[in-house]
DNA sequence: GGAAGGACTTGACGGCGGTCAAGGCAAGCA
DNA sequence: TGCTTGCCTTGACCGCCGTCAAGTCCTTCC
């Protein structure tokens, strides 16, 4: 269990002694694809580390549609921030694919943070990173055109490198579209236009970026 | 100086001993309206507590327009999250009105967090709150219509109460519009429509919500 | 008082993207 | 092979919002 916990940046560099009480209190969780983990408003009694699969964090709008806030992938943690406050979950969560996770009780992490400065610093760093990512997201969301959003999204996956690069989309296109605040139809049209312009190519569920430079140009309008 | 620091939730409940090294290293800063505090990419050597006035955090899009990420008001802190990571500021900041702040060196807060569990917990709570607010923002930004955005924005200022309530807009309407990802014209039109419907009234730069219930209805479409 | 400038409002128009609908395409199954 | 189901694509249409422009109100300053 300790070895599994160390997958998360949160727990890397902690001593075995530090990790032991957390490992003892945690348990493995398995979920079928599509299964609900919790809904908005549920008491936040635990947080999660994803070992395998991916999770959709979303909110329901008042007219019943869902807005994807974040997609959590293998190796990432989620809901750490709520585990520290005595507040209910601010989002719903459900499994995109078959899921393997570790559930860590909020009480244990709260107690450990109080004793263990190292862990507290790790958590601060992790939350700070999340704040940064949200700042990026808010910026991206308020960028005007659909093309810019998509270009920005793809660019976030690329290395600095200039050559052809391959992107594995997390789950379905419709979900990525939702993540970007777009309709599936619009997303499809944007991809089509990019293909016409020779910026990308598609090959068995992967997007191949032929010209990162052009992509950057599209984002910058 | 210690008394001033205690304005922020971050420093409430700390002992005088805890606060002293922070107070000694910090200094007061005054700014004229419109002045730049830092720009995106600057090294984050300090963070700020606003004593008086308000601050605009924004990003420049590639075509030169600016997108407001957050408006910081009296009594709030900003850039705490970056002070902990060794990363540059992810946004630009400039004074909206004449400004009075305390600048706190990143080094000092980093050192204190390592020694002082209480402060670490406060910072964790503060960051968690910020994450929550961003989740709300992302949700609000992706809500479709301008009317829903404005209604949601106003509702965030109201108490549970049902009666008439008064909202003091932070700075100008144009800035609030930018915050919501709207043009000033659109914002003005939405306000006009709400006035026609008897949902709000305006009175010397204040918005008076006549019918919170109707506002909620508008947000929920 | 009069000019100047800024904040806000109002109107007209056009484009982007959401919505609805139909069709293509692959996988699974009898 | 034919049917079904789910995911994606493509087309047509329309409404919202951004843009441009003009006009109003208020403050400031000479």
Kindly report the number of other CB atoms within 10 A of residue B171's CB atom: 17
Please give the residue range of the domain that contains residue B198: 145-220
If DSSP codes are grouped into helix, strand and coil, which group holds residue B199?
Answer: coil
How far are the Cα atoms of A73, B5, B175 from residue A102, in angstroms, in the given order?
13, 40, 44
Residues 15-74 of A with CB under 8 A from B: 59, 61-63, 67, 69
Residues A113 and A203 in one domain: no
Residues of A whose CB is below 8 A from B71: none
Residues A212 and A115 in one domain: no
Residues A70 and A170 in one domain: no
Instruction: Note the CA–C1' distance, A200 to C5, in angstroms.
Output: 50
Point out the residue among B85, B114, B132 whose CB comes nearest to the CB of A128: B85
Residues 112-131 of B with CB under 8 A from A: 113-115, 117, 120-121, 123-125, 127-131
Task: Assess whether A182 (CB) lies less than 7 A from strand C.
Answer: yes
Largest Cα span, chain A? 58
Residues of A whose CB is below 8 A from B135: 59, 69, 90-91, 134
Residues A79 and A40 in one domain: yes
CATH number at residue B122: 2.60.120.10
Residues A130 and A163 in one domain: no
Kindly report the number of other CB atoms within 10 A of residue A19's CB atom: 20
Query: Which of A138, A164, A182 delimits the end of a domain?
Result: A138
Contact of A91 with chain B, judged by CB distance below 8 Å, is answered with yes
Q: Which residues contact B133 (CB under 8 A, 6 or more apart)?
A: none
- 8-state DSSP, A219: H
If DSSP codes are grouped into helix, strand and coil, which group holds residue B36?
Answer: strand
Residues B126 and B179 in one domain: no
Structure tokens belonging to residue A119: 């862990």
Instruction: Note the CA–C1' distance, B149 to D14, in angstroms.
Output: 22
Per-residue pLDDT of chain A (221 residues; tens, 9 = 90+): 878 888 887 788 788 888 888 889 999 998 887 788 898 889 988 999 988 888 888 887 766 677 778 888 888 888 888 888 888 888 888 888 788 899 999 888 888 888 888 788 888 888 888 888 887 777 777 777 899 889 988 888 887 777 788 888 877 888 888 888 889 999 999 999 999 888 888 887 788 888 888 888 888 77
Query: Which of A94, A122, A138 delimits the end of a domain?
Result: A138
Cβ distance B128 to A85 less than 8 Å, yes or no, reads: yes
Tell which residue, B84, B109, B106, has the closest CA to residue B21. Answer: B109
Residues of B whose CB is below 8 A from A72: none
Residues B161 and B185 in one domain: yes
Tell which residue, B122, B140, B115, has the closest CA to residue B13. Answer: B122
Residues B182 and B130 in one domain: no
CATH number at residue A215: 1.10.10.10
Residue B7: what pLDDT? 84
Per-residue pLDDT of chain B (221 residues; tens, 9 = 90+): 878 888 887 788 788 888 888 889 999 988 887 788 898 889 988 999 988 888 888 887 766 677 778 888 888 888 888 888 888 888 888 888 788 899 999 888 888 888 888 888 888 888 888 888 887 777 777 777 899 889 988 888 887 777 788 888 877 888 888 888 889 999 999 999 999 888 898 887 788 888 888 888 888 77
Structure tokens belonging to residue A97: 């694919």
Residues B38 and B107 in one domain: yes
Instruction: Note the CA–C1' distance, A188 to D11, in angstroms.
Output: 13
Task: Find and list the nucleotides of strand D having atoms within 7 Å of a protein beta carbon.
Answer: 7-12, 16-21
Q: How far is CA A137 from the centre of its chain?
A: 12
Structure tokens belonging to residue B58: 């924004």
Class of residue B157 by CB neighbours under 10 A (exposed 0-12, middle 13-18, buried 19+): middle
Total structural domains in chain B? 2
Instruction: Note the CA–C1' distance, B16 to D12, in angstroms.
Output: 70
Residues A49 and A124 in one domain: yes
Residue A70: what pLDDT? 81
Report the alpha-carbon distance of residue A119 to residue A14 in Å, rounded: 7
Residues A19 and A109 in one domain: yes
Output the DSSP codes for A105-164.
Answer: EHHHHHHHHHH-HHHHHHHHHHHHHHHHHHHHHHHHHTSS-HHHHHHHHHHTT--S--S-
Q: How far is CA B115 from the centre of its chain?
A: 29
Kindly report the number of other CB atoms within 10 A of residue B187's CB atom: 21
Residue B63: what pLDDT? 64
Choose the mutation target among A9, A10, A44, A61 for the interface with B, i.e. most B CBs under 10 Å: A61
**What stretches of chain B show up as alpha helix (H) in DSSP?**
2-5, 16-25, 80-84, 106-115, 117-141, 146-155, 173-179, 184-196, 212-219
Instruction: Note the CA–C1' distance, B25 to D14, in angstroms.
Output: 61
Strand partners, B180: none
Residue A102: what pLDDT? 92
Residues A26 and A61 in one domain: yes
Query: Which of B95, B111, B138 delimits the end of a domain?
Result: B138
Report the alpha-carbon distance of residue B68 to residue B178 in Å, rounded: 6
Report the alpha-carbon distance of residue B126 to residue A82 in Å, rounded: 11
Tell which residue, B145, B81, B105, B95, has the closest CA to residue B22. Answer: B105
Choose the mutation target among A117, A127, A149 for the interface with B, i.e. most B CBs under 10 Å: A127
């Amino acid at each position: 269990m300790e070895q599994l916990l160390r997958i998360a940046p949160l727990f890397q560099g902690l001593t075995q002694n530090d990790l032991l009480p957390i490992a003892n209190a945690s348990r493995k969780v398995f979920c079928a694809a599509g299964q609900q983990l919790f809904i908005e408003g549920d008491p936040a009694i635990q947080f999660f580390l994803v070992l395998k699969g991916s999770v959709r964090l979303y909110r329901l709008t008042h007219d019943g549609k869902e807005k994807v806030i974040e997609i959590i992938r293998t190796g990432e943690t989620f809901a750490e921030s709520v585990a520290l406050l005595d507040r209910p979950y601010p989002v719903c969560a459900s499994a995109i694919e078959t899921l393997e996770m570790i559930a860590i009780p909020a009480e244990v992490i709260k107690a450990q943070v109080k004793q263990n400065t190292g862990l507290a610093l790790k958590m601060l760093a992790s939350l700070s990173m999340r704040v940064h990512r949200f700042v990026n997201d808010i910026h991206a969301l308020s960028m005007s055109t659909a093309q810019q959003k998509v270009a920005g999204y793809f660019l976030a996956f690329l290395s600095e490198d200039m050559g052809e690069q391959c992107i594995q989309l997390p789950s379905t296109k419709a979900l990525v579209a939702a993540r970007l605040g777009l309709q599936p139809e619009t997303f499809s049209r944007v991809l089509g236009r990019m293909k016409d312009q020779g910026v990308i190519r598609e090959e068995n569920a992967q997007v191949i970026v032929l010209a990162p430079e052009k992509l950057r140009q599209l984002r910058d309008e």
